């Protein structure tokens, strides 16, 4: 099942013509940008950077986090993004694209998300949370335009969220071990059953029937996401919300084939991701409700003052 298409705007750095493109993943956007802008025809890689600050976009998960209609600048092999000149036009240096200035670091991007709305904490992956926790307090305070005291409170909160997810992971792991032990005990008590194995021929048929489904799953989810799904005991706690949504929407059979799991295990994973998404949405709604209530309470003294004046 193909991923959801994201509309983007792409242009060359030294050109005024821009193209609106829709792609489900970063690789697809690179290919379309190369064809639309007639670059990369020599099979050299096309580098995409954010038009705003020159940040190199080379990670599929990060691409999925970007909003719709994000503006990109496409760089050929020997081009380098270096901002705007005095007349407002893009300037270029003849240096390899792999030396492009990466612009704002990852933590600055995350800090700006929090500056816009603190409830974005809930939507961040564990890796994102750890990045912000490790940032020097003074640097983060400067980026957020907050005092170091408030920034310390924020980093403590981030650590608490990270600890809570770790506790949830450990609890889930213990529960799975307990359920597995019960299952094994029931199996021994009921009978010494024959090994539940699929005959070789039947297994080959199953594998053949799902190979194309596995390929379609990989078009929507990145290799990094698959690694998290396979290796982490509670992967839903390690992924950001947009990646969780992709996993939930993925075809169950295709996901099972890509992970070399049975369909039941893949379905359980999708249900866990769906539950985590719902939990994060409820937390965001609760934060928004608290903010609305807080604003209403702050407005009450003004209202009381007006009413008292009217009574006089």
Shared fold status for 6-103 and 202-282 = no
How would you classify residue 43: left for phi > 0, otherwise alpha for psi between -120 and 50, otherwise beta?
left
Phi and psi of 188, rounded to 5°? -70, -40
Chain position carrying tokens 């064809």? 35
CATH class of 6-103: alpha beta
Residue 40 has a pLDDT of: 65
Cβ of 105: how many Cβ atoms within 10 Å? Answer: 14
Report how far residue 31's alpha carbon sits from residue 173's, in angstroms, rounded to the nearest whole number.
Answer: 41
The sign one gets for the Cα dihedral 215, 218, 219, 220 is: positive
Interval 273-292: pLDDT, tens:
999 888 888 887 777 776 67
Domain ranges within the chain, ordered by starting residue? 6-103, 106-190, 202-282
Residue 195 has a pLDDT of: 54
Residue 244 has a pLDDT of: 85
Check whether 157 has a pLDDT greater than 70.
Answer: yes
Report how far residue 22's alpha carbon sits from residue 4's, in angstroms, rounded to the nearest whole number.
Answer: 9
* Region 167-177 average pLDDT: 83
Measured CA distances, 184 to 3, 177, 194 (Å): 39, 11, 14
* Region 258-287 average pLDDT: 86
Interval 198-244: pLDDT, tens:
555 444 444 444 444 444 445 568 888 888 888 888 888 888 888 88
Report how far residue 166's alpha carbon sits from residue 172's, in angstroms, rounded to the nearest whole number.
Answer: 10
- CATH architecture classification, 202-282: Orthogonal Bundle (1.10)
Helical segments of the chain, H only: 26-37, 60-65, 106-116, 126-134, 137-144, 148-190, 200-220, 223-231, 241-249, 252-259, 263-311
Q: What is the DSSP letter of 177?
A: H
Residue 194 has a pLDDT of: 54
């Amino acid at each position: 099942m193909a991923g959801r298409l994201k509309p983007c705007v792409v242009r060359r750095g030294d050109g005024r013509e821009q193209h609106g493109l829709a792609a489900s993943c970063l690789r697809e956007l690179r290919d379309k940008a190369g064809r639309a802008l007639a670059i990369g025809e020599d099979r050299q890689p096309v580098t995409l950077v954010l038009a705003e600050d020159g940040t190199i976009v080379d990670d599929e998960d990060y691409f999925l986090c970007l909003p719709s209609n994000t503006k990109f600048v496409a760089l050929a092999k020997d081009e380098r993004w270096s901002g705007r000149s005095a007349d407002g036009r893009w300037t270029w240096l003849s240096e390899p694209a792999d030396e492009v200035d990466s612009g704002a670091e990852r933590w600055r991007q995350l800090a700006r998300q929090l500056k816009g709305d603190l409830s974005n904490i809930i939507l961040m992956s564990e890796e994102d949370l750890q990045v912000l926790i490790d940032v020097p307090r003074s640097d983060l305070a400067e980026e957020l335009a907050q005092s170091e005291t408030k920034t310390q409170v924020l980093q403590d909160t981030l650590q608490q969220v990270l600890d809570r997810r770790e506790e949830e992971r450990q609890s889930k792991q213990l529960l799975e071990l307990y359920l597995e032990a019960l299952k094994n005990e029931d199996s021994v008590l009921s009978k010494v059953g024959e090994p539940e194995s699929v005959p070789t021929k039947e297994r080959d048929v199953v594998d053949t029937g799902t190979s194309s489904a596995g390929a379609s799953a990989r078009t929507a989810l990145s290799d990094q996401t698959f690694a998290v799904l396979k290796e982490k005991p509670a992967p839903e706690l390690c992924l950001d919300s947009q990646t969780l949504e992709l996993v939930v929407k993925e075809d169950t059979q295709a996901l099972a084939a890509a992970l070399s799991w049975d369909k039941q295990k893949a379905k359980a994973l999708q249900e866990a991701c769906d539950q985590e998404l719902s939990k994060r949405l409820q937390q965001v709604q609760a934060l928004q409700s608290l903010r609305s209530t807080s604003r209403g309470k702050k407005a009450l003294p003004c209202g009381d003052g007006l009413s008292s004046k009217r009574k006089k």
